[in-house]
């Protein structure tokens, strides 16, 4: 065994390419109990590939994307799945080739409505959580991450001005809307879980603006309501729900013997960025005993502003209506409960009958423990979003110039 280890060390120091081409996965931990040197060599080479990509991403001379058409790309990549395992060096080479043709979303010249750049602290957190390879099911399986999650969620609630409450994290905005729908149905019809639709004796109906996110109608389909029972309310020339039309449609459905129970109010529509009028819609919900859900995936950043946040969520005014979910904020009149979603979708906040969805910065690993990087990245996202709001409020400059100004303000905020 000593001879084997010495050979590996020799290969690592003088012939690193031989290690990669000679060894396969069976020489790594945990397949080989003596696989320390090979494992370390392979991981270091892979780390070098990743670090090179980080350098390229931050190099203004590098392309944002080495674009190839699909047919050309197929010729450049070996996408065949072999019958037998390949050498470790092939894995490393494939990783480098994958990153070569990948969009550099952290590049200074890359702008997109969803990708937010490469945060190195969060990247390191991803490495850590992937290495830990655990989940957030119980304290027994992830004691440190469970405690981290509790602290992060409490801090997120504190940032928007709420003390107390409870929270969960969700993988994205669409799932957040689904959570709000299920919370509303369970809250208003507790027996639905066991008895189903038949126990109600009538058809449930939900309402949303014709400018809402497509995931709202998906909720109706996934949960068995049916898209025909997700009623689209007309909007005005600014893209805001027309409250009189909402009441008219509610009355129309009630006259048919159906049960209106859920209204989705959008704070920041996908296309126009319109804000549905919360107060008048809330009055309609109170009048007809419906759950109000506020999808604030786009405009939820206003909760960070003491000047522009809605007074119902400022802590200065006692809630007089049953609010449901703020995407997702949900309100229960007795004890405030926040169902914060995860993956940077700031989540179902539960406080009577309102739901909100805050930023849908979604994360692909919804079952893994990402709290380590969530805290720092989330706070940076909050500062970034606040900088965006300030930039566009104070100027009518072109979007590109505004984005550049926003970046500068963001960097200044992070240094404070």
The enclosing domain of 346 has a CATH number of: 3.40.640.10
Q: Are residues 175 and 282 in the same domain?
A: yes
Q: Are residues 19 and 130 in the same domain?
A: no
Q: What is the 3-state secondary structure (H, E, C) of the chain?
A: CHHHHHHHHHHHHHCHHHHHHHCCHHHCCCCCCCCHHHHHHHHHHHHHHHHHHHHHHCCCCCCCCCCCCHHHHHHHCCCCCCCCCCCHHHHHHHHHHHHHCCCCCCCCCCCCCCCCCCCHHHHHHHHHHHHHCCECCCCCCCHHHHHHHHHHHHHHHHHCCCCCCCCCCECCHHHHHHHHHHHHHHHHCCCHHHHCHHHCCCCEEEEEECCCCHHHHHHHHHCCCCHHHEEEECECCCCCECHHHHHHHHHHHHHCCCEEEEEEEEECCCCCCCECCHHHHHHHHHHCCCEEEEECCCCHHHHHCCCCCCHHHCCCCCCCCCCCEEECEEECCCCCCCECCCCCECCEEEECCEEEECCECCCCCCCECCHHHHHHHHHHHHHHHHHHHHHHHHCCCCHHHHHHHHHHHHHHHHHC
Q: State the residue range of the domain holding 16.
A: 2-100
Within a domain: residue 348? yes
Decide if 215 contacts 178 (C-beta within 8 A): yes
Identify the pLDDT of residue 344.
30
Q: Are residues 287 and 322 in the same domain?
A: yes
Identify the pLDDT of residue 397.
44
Task: At 271, list the tokens.
Answer: 């296309």
Identify the pLDDT of residue 325.
58
Identify the pLDDT of residue 362.
32
On the CB side of 297, CA atoms within 13 Å amount to 29
Identify the pLDDT of residue 113.
74
Q: Are residues 268 and 297 in the same domain?
A: yes
Q: Are residues 76 and 176 in the same domain?
A: no
Identify the pLDDT of residue 311.
66
Q: Could you tell me the CA-to-CA distances from 384 to 73, 77, 98, 110, 133 in Å, in that order?
A: 35, 37, 30, 16, 30
Closest alpha carbon to 330 in 293, 295, 300: 293
Report the first-to-last Cα separation within the chain, whole angstroms. Answer: 55
Closest alpha carbon to 267 in 342, 356, 334: 356
In a structure prediction context, what are the per-residue pLDDT tens digits for the chain, which is 416 residues long?
454 445 455 454 444 444 455 688 899 999 999 999 999 999 999 999 999 999 999 999 999 999 999 999 999 999 999 999 899 999 999 999 999 999 999 999 999 877 778 899 999 999 999 999 999 899 999 999 999 999 999 998 888 777 877 777 888 889 999 999 999 999 999 999 999 988 888 999 999 999 999 999 999 999 999 999 999 999 999 999 999 999 999 999 999 999 999 999 999 998 899 999 999 999 999 999 999 999 988 888 888 887 887 665 543 332 333 345 555 433 322 333 333 332 233 344 433 344 444 433 333 333 444 444 444 454 444 444 444 444 444 444 444 454 445 445 444 444 44
Q: Are residues 221 and 335 in the same domain?
A: yes
Q: Are residues 373 and 335 in the same domain?
A: no
Identify the pLDDT of residue 161.
76
Identify the pLDDT of residue 338.
34
Q: Are residues 333 and 277 in the same domain?
A: yes
Q: Are residues 189 and 286 in the same domain?
A: yes
Q: Which residues, at least 6 apart from 389, have a Cβ–Cβ distance to it below 8 Å?
A: 301, 302, 305, 308
For the whole model, what pTM was predicted? Answer: 0.69
Within a domain: residue 107? no
Q: Are residues 319 and 207 in the same domain?
A: yes
Within a domain: residue 239? yes
Per the structure, how many domains does the chain have?
Answer: 3
Within a domain: residue 343? yes
Q: Are residues 247 and 375 in the same domain?
A: no
Within a domain: residue 159? no
Within a domain: residue 185? yes
Identify the pLDDT of residue 328.
41
Within a domain: residue 171? yes
Within a domain: residue 61? yes
Q: Are residues 56 and 181 in the same domain?
A: no
């Amino acid at each position: 065994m000593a001879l084997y280890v010495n050979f590996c060390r020799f290969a690592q120091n003088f012939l690193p390419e031989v290690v990669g081409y000679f060894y396969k996965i069976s020489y790594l931990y945990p397949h080989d109990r003596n696989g320390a040197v090979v494992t370390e060599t392979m991981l270091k080479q892979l780390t070098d590939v990743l670090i090179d990509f980080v350098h390229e991403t931050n190099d203004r001379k590098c392309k944002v994307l080495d674009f190839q058409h699909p047919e050309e790309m197929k010729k450049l990549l070996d996408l065949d799945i072999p019958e037998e395992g390949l050498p470790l060096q092939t894995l490393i080479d494939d990783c480098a080739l994958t990153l070569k043709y990948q969009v550099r979303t952290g590049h200074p010249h890359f702008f997109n409505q969803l990708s937010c750049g490469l945060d190195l602290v969060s990247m390191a957190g991803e490495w850590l959580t992937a290495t830990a390879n655990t989940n957030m099911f119980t304290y027994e399986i992830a004691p440190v991450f469970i405690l981290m999650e509790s602290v992060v969620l409490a801090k997120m609630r504190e940032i928007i001005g709420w003390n107390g409450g409870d929270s969960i994290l969700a993988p994205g905005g669409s799932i957040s809307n689904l959570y709000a729908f299920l919370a509303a149905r369970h809250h208003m019809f507790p027996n639905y879980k066991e008895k189903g639709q038949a126990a109600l004796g009538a058809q449930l109906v939900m309402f949303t603006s014709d400018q809402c996110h497509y995931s709202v109608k998906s909720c109706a389909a996934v949960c068995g309501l049916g898209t025909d029972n997700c009623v689209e309310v007309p909007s005005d020339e600014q893209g805001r729900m027309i409250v009189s039309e909402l009441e008219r449609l509610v009355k129309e459905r009630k006259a048919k013997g159906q049960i209106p129970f859920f209204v989705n109010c959008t704070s920041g529509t996908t296309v126009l960025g319109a804000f549905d009028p919360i107060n008048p819609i809330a009055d309609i919900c109170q009048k007809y005993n419906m759950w109000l859900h506020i999808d604030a995936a786009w405009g939820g950043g206003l909760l960070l502003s003491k000047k522009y946040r809605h007074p119902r969520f400022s802590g200065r005014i006692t809630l007089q209506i049953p609010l449901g979910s703020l995407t997702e904020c949900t309100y229960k009149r007795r004890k405030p409960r926040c169902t914060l979603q995860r993956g940077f979708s700031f989540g179902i906040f539960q406080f009577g009958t309102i739901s909100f969805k805050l930023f849908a910065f979604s994360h692909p690993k919804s079952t893994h423990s990402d709290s380590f990087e969530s805290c720092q990245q989330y706070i940076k996202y909050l500062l970034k979003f606040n900088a965006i709001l300030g930039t566009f409020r104070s100027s009518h400059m072109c979007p590109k110039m505004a984005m550049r100004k926003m970046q500068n303000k963001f960097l200044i905020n992070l240094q404070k």
